[in-house]
Structure 1
Amino acid sequence: MESDEEIRRVPELGLELPGGGASTSGREAGAGAGGPERAQSSTAQASSRRRVRSPADKEHKRLKRLLRNRVSAQQARERKKAYLTDLEVKVKELEKKNSEMEERLSTLQNENQMLRQILKNTTL
């Protein structure tokens, strides 16, 4: 049966010690009831797990990271391009609306001026 510490431990993916996990828990149980020896044993095992990684595994991990980074960068560029395209469409819409409003303003100002002139002429 696994101890509470073994249950809480997060396994490192892709890394297994030779001999499987069952012998590891047996070795840890034989190390003592707990305390510093067990902590040192866990630390030694964790550091030995890191040493197990071969240069080929490191290269594979590096290449996977580079590929993820390239994909992420490409997605960021595509999002930026879509964002800029959207902004350009909005700019054109706003410019069109602005010119329509300027034209309407001019028309209303002319109409207002004519009405004032008519009002001025009728009062005289």
Structure 2
Amino acid sequence: MESDEEIRRVPEVGLELAGGPSTSGRAATGAAAAGTSSSAAAQAAIARRRVRSPADKEHRRLKRLLRNRVSAQQARERKKAYLSELEVKVKDLEKRNSELEERLSTLQNENQMLRQVHLSHCTCFLAV
């Protein structure tokens, strides 16, 4: 099992971006609005797309794997906490059920005794 620190650690990968820094796309949009043809706007949109180097792709993949690993660990922890909660609830309900069964038994015995007392009194009055 890996520690939390190892799980969250992102391996350092050299990031070299092809084509220099990324532009925001406002310039291409502004050119399209200034009256250039739709094909020029489409070409500008394609040019705006950032070409990812293999190192950048690998870095993004590793970050995604790391996020996935952390998310899976958190899900396992939530599940473990939920199961612990359920186990406590089961114990409480079993205890409550046991108490109710004991009370039911006591009340049934009491009811039976009262019926016998009642029958004995009724037979006494009938005999008189």
Alignment TM-score > 0.5, same fold: yes
Question: Any stretches of 5+ residues in structure 2 without a counterpart?
Answer: 1-16, 124-128
Name the TM-score, length of structure 1 as normaliser.
0.72
The aligned residue for residue 41 of structure 2 is: 39
Q: Distance in 1 between matches of 2:106 and 2:78?
A: 42
Q: Distance in 2 between matches of 1:58 and 1:122?
A: 94
Question: Any stretches of 5+ residues in structure 1 without a counterpart?
Answer: 1-14
The aligned residue for residue 94 of structure 1 is: 93
Q: Give aligned-pair identity as a percent.
A: 61
Shift of 1:44: 2.1
Comparing both chains, which one has the higher relative contact order based on Cα–Cα distances under 8 Å and sequence gaps of 6 or more? 2
Q: Distance in 2 between matches of 1:76 and 1:106?
A: 44
Task: Indicate how the Cα distance of structure 1 residues 26 and 64 shifts in structure 2: closer, same or farther if over 3 A, else same.
Answer: closer
Shift of 1:123: 1.1
Q: Deviations over 1:9-51 (max 9, x none)?
A: xxxxxx89647648x727962896044224322332144x2xx
The aligned residue for residue 67 of structure 1 is: 66
Paired residues, number: 107
Q: Distance in 1 between matches of 2:114 and 2:19?
A: 94
| Match runs of 1:102-113 below 5 Å | 102-113=101-112
Range that drifts further, 31-40 or 70-79: 31-40
Task: Indicate how the Cα distance of structure 1 residues 119 and 36 shifts in structure 2: closer, same or farther if over 3 A, else same.
Answer: same
Q: What secondary structure is seen at the aligned counterpart in 2 of 1:118?
A: helix
Q: Distance in 2 between matches of 1:30 and 1:107?
A: 88
Task: Indicate how the Cα distance of structure 1 residues 20 and 73 shifts in structure 2: closer, same or farther if over 3 A, else same.
Answer: closer
Q: Distance in 2 between matches of 1:27 and 1:106?
A: 83
